[in-house]
Amino acid sequence: MGRKLLLDKAHIEGIRYYDVYRKNGGYAAAEKALKSMTTDQVLDEVKKSGLRGRGGAGFPTGLKWSFIAKPEGVPRYLVCNADESEPGTFKDRYLMEFLPHLLIEGLLISSYTLGANSTYIYIRGEYAWIPDILEEAIAEAKKNGWLGKNIRGTGFDLEIYVQRGGGAYICGEETALIESLEGKRGNPRLKPPFPAVKVCGSRLPW
């Protein structure tokens, strides 16, 4: 049987809270990545790990990250797709409800690697009680120096924002999600370009 990677600590009482999460090894991976690794080294680790996306297509995460354009002076954003509207699916809900700091730590490492200073968690609107859990964890992480300006003296800045979805299944599709996040109707954009390559502009950005 495979080892549990994401949920191995989910049973620990109070793991939702910063102190318990930290005492159980939380934020050690972020510390290692931000303090002793370059972004290229983290990217290599992610490629080697064989990690794949959980959005349906199982696309290799490291490969997707290597597509991210890095023009100087242009802000980059990381969007966490927590729309999870597929009937009977609850892996994202479970993770956010019981291990919000694990998500925050993952977003921190990912944002550092991609050079994103703003991250949005787009969460299924029907998960009405979870944004409060996330906001509380974000506030705890910020109080303890894992979010905000100059994170733990590394010079890296990050803010995480929680955005409630409007309750449409299509908003889980990545380009519709971005439209919705930008305050527009959640219609999918034509692809290509794909969001990892270009997200700004309107539906016809070229």
Ligand X SMILES: Cc1cc2nc3c(=O)[nH]c(=O)nc-3n(C[C@H](O)[C@H](O)[C@H](O)COP(=O)(O)O)c2cc1C
Residues that bind ligand X (CB under 6 A): 53-57, 59, 81, 83-85, 169-170, 172-174
Q: Of 35 and 198, which CB lies nearer to ligand X in the complex structure?
A: 198
Q: Of 6 and 170, which CB lies nearer to ligand X in the complex structure?
A: 170
Smallest distance, Å, CB 124 to ligand X?
7
Q: Of 98 and 169, which CB lies nearer to ligand X in the complex structure?
A: 169
Q: Of 84 and 179, which CB lies nearer to ligand X in the complex structure?
A: 84
Smallest distance, Å, CB 70 to ligand X?
18
Smallest distance, Å, CB 14 to ligand X?
28
Smallest distance, Å, CB 188 to ligand X?
7
Q: What is the DSSP string of the chain?
A: -PPPSSSTTTTSTTTTSHHHHHHTTTTHHHHHHHHH--HHHHHHHHHHHT-B-SSSS--BHHHHHHT----TT---EEEEEE---STT--HHHHHHHH-HHHHHHHHHHHHHHHT-SEEEEEE-TT-TTHHHHHHHHHHHHHHTTSSBSSGGGSS--BEEEEEE--S-GGGGSHHHHHHHHTTS--PPPPSSSPTTT---SSSS--
